[in-house]
Structure 1
């Protein structure tokens, strides 16, 4: 069957998953935000050990990016414009957790979609530096989040409206400010570890599993082949919720308006088309091709 016809079929299937208000994402947003605040409060009052608080902050930091990502694409309000304010509210609520401004992130992220895996054009290409070794992994994580925060200032500042500039600055200040105030005002020893190490752990998990691994080895720019579907072994399936579907990142790049919690259903439906189009469907650890029976 011609590639164009296969793509038409995939688009037709994807339309059935697009447009509805994403109540599950809204619920995820308020769950993550409330648990994040509760974690800090419990630790500050001596009711949670530092290692548990740090791990939870890391996990919730990673999970917060899924909401930010969905909000940037307008997937929370779907095709219902009267709920646009809820979409934006969710984006603004999680942005200070993941440390990426919501109002300006769309500029960086849409550029990534437009030029996926093209060195010099894809701003996320910097994450490919993780392949250089352990030191590269650590340094690239910091560089990656620097790009997320600075892209707007470097590329869109002069053409942006005053409101967007002010919002961008306020988001940056708030993201830094709440961390400084928390570390300064909370008297319990270890608060800096919880806030800073927890953030780095969540940021690293986001950069590595959300950005780096799905696009590796960064040598293909074709629509159906520039992003992978990472299939987990059977024993890991009970823990797959931690990834929030992002291991099937190919679905997102093909159909960005599909909510994250529908990735698996759509992937199952169009898997024969993905395989015919050459989409990498590979093991999450060994990156070896996975047979249809195993996925």
Structure 2
């Protein structure tokens, strides 16, 4: 349902703008939100959390991954290789492909440039690291996903006769990608100086007034739960975190304020 909702809202948003029913000032931030939401499905599909233990629904897991991949512009089939490498070598410079996200600490310009580097890495990792030993089918799927991800955007920009359509698609995508890179990857792993299993990611505790933002974040402020238990779906992070919090604290998991990064009791 979450996948269907995300895709439907994404398409509806573009259709409303294309027909002049909403302005670019509304369509652009909405597209950013739906772009971020699409990565949640992609991420869950990569970990097999959509079908869970029901192997007969593995096809549905893959289908969801392939459907949202063109929105976030990260190939589903090849993202598995990059993301599992990140889990295997979390915060290890030179081995963790997501370590480059630490460059977001270098001011606004560094954060914007790092976002571009991050998505370049997501799209090129398979070609650089897995192409030589990949089957022909894997290579074709990878190339097909890249082509479709770029192609649908070009077609919409060319075919839709609405001023600002390129800005909505490209600016909306960039800021959705920036949000994903910053809040999904950078903040939970900051300061990138610990590789211990219970300490290489954080639980970022948010004040009550920020709960609406926490819902939008889709639980990733408790990213420590994901790295410890990657087969637990995102909508169960909070319940599991509450259940095992004493263990997390005993193991030294950073449970800190979202802004201050000071320990939260």
Q: CA deviation at 1:230?
A: 0.6
> Residue in 1 aligned with 2:201?
227
Secondary structure of 1:209 counterpart: helix
Aligned counterparts, 1:55-204, within 5 A: 55-204=29-178
Alpha-carbon distance between aligned partners in 2 of 1:131 and 1:39, rounded to the nearest angstrom: 32
Indicate which of 246, 251, 260 corresponds to 2:220. Answer: 246
Give me the TM-score of the superposition, normalised by structure 1.
0.89
Q: CA deviation at 1:135?
A: 1.0
Which segments of 5 or more consecutive residues in structure 1 lack a partner in the other structure? 1-26
Alpha-carbon distance between aligned partners in 1 of 2:213 and 2:90, rounded to the nearest angstrom: 29
> Residue in 2 aligned with 1:45?
19
Q: CA deviation at 1:234?
A: 1.2
Secondary structure of 1:230 counterpart: strand
Q: CA deviation at 1:238?
A: 3.2
Alpha-carbon distance between aligned partners in 1 of 2:108 and 2:27, rounded to the nearest angstrom: 25
Q: CA deviation at 1:54?
A: 0.3
Indicate which of 29, 37, 42 corresponds to 2:3. Answer: 29
In the alignment, is residue 283 of structure 1 matched against residue 257 of structure 2? yes
Q: CA deviation at 1:239?
A: 3.1
Alpha-carbon distance between aligned partners in 2 of 1:109 and 1:285, rounded to the nearest angstrom: 27
Q: Which has the higher contact order (CA 8 A, sep 6+)?
A: 1
Which segments of 5 or more consecutive residues in structure 2 lack a partner in the other structure? none
RMSD, aligned CA: 0.6
Alpha-carbon distance between aligned partners in 1 of 2:25 and 2:263, rounded to the nearest angstrom: 37
Deviations 1:50-81 (A, max 9, x none): 11100110000001000000000000000111
Secondary structure of 1:126 counterpart: helix
Q: CA deviation at 1:87?
A: 0.1
Alpha-carbon distance between aligned partners in 2 of 1:177 and 1:228, rounded to the nearest angstrom: 37
Alpha-carbon distance between aligned partners in 2 of 1:68 and 1:138, rounded to the nearest angstrom: 23
Q: CA deviation at 1:193?
A: 1.2
Alpha-carbon distance between aligned partners in 1 of 2:39 and 2:91, rounded to the nearest angstrom: 21
Alpha-carbon distance between aligned partners in 2 of 1:175 and 1:288, rounded to the nearest angstrom: 41
Secondary structure of 2:204 counterpart: strand
> Residue in 2 aligned with 1:17?
none
Q: CA deviation at 1:210?
A: 0.3
Give structure 1 regions of 4+ aligned residues with deviation exceeding 6 angstroms: none
Secondary structure of 2:52 counterpart: coil
Deviations 1:206-247 (A, max 9, x none): 000000000000000000000000111111113321000011
Alpha-carbon distance between aligned partners in 2 of 1:152 and 1:159, rounded to the nearest angstrom: 10
Give me the TM-score of the superposition, normalised by structure 2.
0.99
Alpha-carbon distance between aligned partners in 1 of 2:248 and 2:191, rounded to the nearest angstrom: 19
